[in-house]
Amino acid sequence: MRSNIRLSKQTIFLLYFFSIIMLGSILLTMPFAYREGRIRYIDALFTATSAVCVTGLTVVDTLSFTRIGQTIIIILIQLGGLGIIAFFTMYLFLPHRKISVYTRGFAGDYTVPSFEYRTRNIIAQIIKWTAGIEVLGTLLLWPLFVRHGYSLFDAIFHAISAFCNAGFSTLYTGMQFFRDNVLANVVTMGLIVTGGLGFIVLQDVWQVVRKKKMHLTYHSSVVLRTTAGLILGGAALLYMLEYNHAFKELSEGTKVMASFFQSVTARTAGFDTVPQARFSSMGQFVTIILMFIGASPGSTGGGVKTTTFYLLLLAALRYREERNVLVDRNRTIMPNSIIKASAVVVRALAIVLAATTVLLIAEPAHGNPVNIETAVFESVSAFGTVGLSIGITPHLSVASKLALICTMFMGRVGLFAMAIPHARHSPERYAESPKADILL
């Protein structure tokens, strides 16, 4: 008897991430994955979730894992970075598998309308773009890494981790080891930014460069302008705030480079050339804002997304009640877009608030009290799948680790799953409900 059970798109999405997290956590507990016996399951689960959600928060040093364990981590990062798009790529290209209307519509959710009927080409290009960029990053880093005693594996690991905005590192002191190296900083920042732009934007830019089209789409324009503004604005603020603080002992050139690197990495990458614990309160506050905003839609990064930030800022600055319309660069912004952006931010704030509350309650009970600034920083870092930490993560209680695991999962998967349209069709409405008037 043929089963009529059909999983919803949200269920498929959640099951994909949940399954690879569970499988990854089990593999990481195996003796061949850890150098000193076996890792505790809660720490393996935390590491697997952090890898799949491309966060980078760690409770166990990545160097504590064997090469097999590190390989498991980088595979989890790659699967998580590509997310559901990678899942459907494997699903669609199975032998004798055809693209159904249902599947085509699902894959189309991650594109812009002009690409909706070229799903196979889009997915194939995503794989090619990912492989090409990561190989290029590896080739650029390999000679530098070898010169400093690292291997090809370390270069591959770093390139994938940077492009997927993961923040895991097999370097002894992470990117702090290459704090003064221009090539390492530029290549890593390039990989982070490229991975955080989104595949649709990369494809759009490439078509303009090859003169296949004259202009960027409005979406690509917003993403590029917002990304550039956040990088430059964040770097300028961090340079001024940390000039005589966290950057005090650095040379002038390294101060500028560190400012840009910290501005770039705060938007979901998780590497750092200067420890976050050294930053002033204002410097950490700027970092929290950048982490909360995050990368762009359809990218390997997290956060509420650059387009959400742009739309809400635009609405705050340009909306006029008497016109009841929002226009930007000769484009009319639909009210539905503003509602979606507002919903994303409110949900995100609720997730961060819940995680912060757990940390503030659980840690004092565990004999490890944390202040509210630190709790907010760690919670936003987990939600934005950033991975930056003030240094308390390895010392957290089981309850706090579970809270951050849920926060990483919700930040990477939960918000996205809630945004996927439901397959159910509501009955046609023949009458509208009365309009509600409310003072704001």
Helix, strand, coil share of the chain (percent; to 5): 65, 0, 35
Percent with pLDDT over 70 in the chain: 81
Pairing of strands 331-333, 326-328: antiparallel
DSSP string, 222-276: HHHHHHHHHHHHHHHHHHHHHTTTTTTTS-HHHHHHHHHHHHHHTTTT---SS-G
Q: What is the DSSP letter of 325?
A: B
Q: Residue 91: which of 4, 12, 200 has the closest Cα? A: 12
How many residues are listed for the chain in this entry? 440
DSSP, collapsed to helix, strand or coil, labels residue 424 as coil
pLDDT tens track for 285-317: 999 999 999 888 877 778 888 999 999 998 888
User: Residue for token digits 């090809």?
Assistant: 152
Q: What pTM value is reported for the model?
A: 0.86
Q: Which residue has the higher pLDDT, 5 or 13?
A: 13
* Model pLDDT, residue 421: 54
Q: 101-108 vs 119-147: helix axis angle to the nearest 10?
A: 50
Query: CB neighbours (10 Å) of residue 239?
Result: 17
* pLDDT for position 414: 67
Please tell me the distance from the alpha carbon of residue 211 to that of residue 207, in angstroms, as a whole number.
6
Residue 323 pLDDT > 70, yes or no? Answer: no
Residue 99 confidence (pLDDT) above 80? no
Q: What CA–CA distance (Å, rounded) separates 191 from 176?
A: 17
Average pLDDT of the segment spanning 320-348: 80
Question: Which among 239, 251, 252 is positioned nearest to 279, based on CA atoms?
Answer: 239
In our burial notation (b when 16+ CB lie closer than 10 A, e otherwise), range 68-92 reads ebbbbbbbbbbbbbbbbbbbbbebb
With the C-alpha atoms ordered 235, 182, 202, 54, is the resulting torsion angle positive or negative? negative
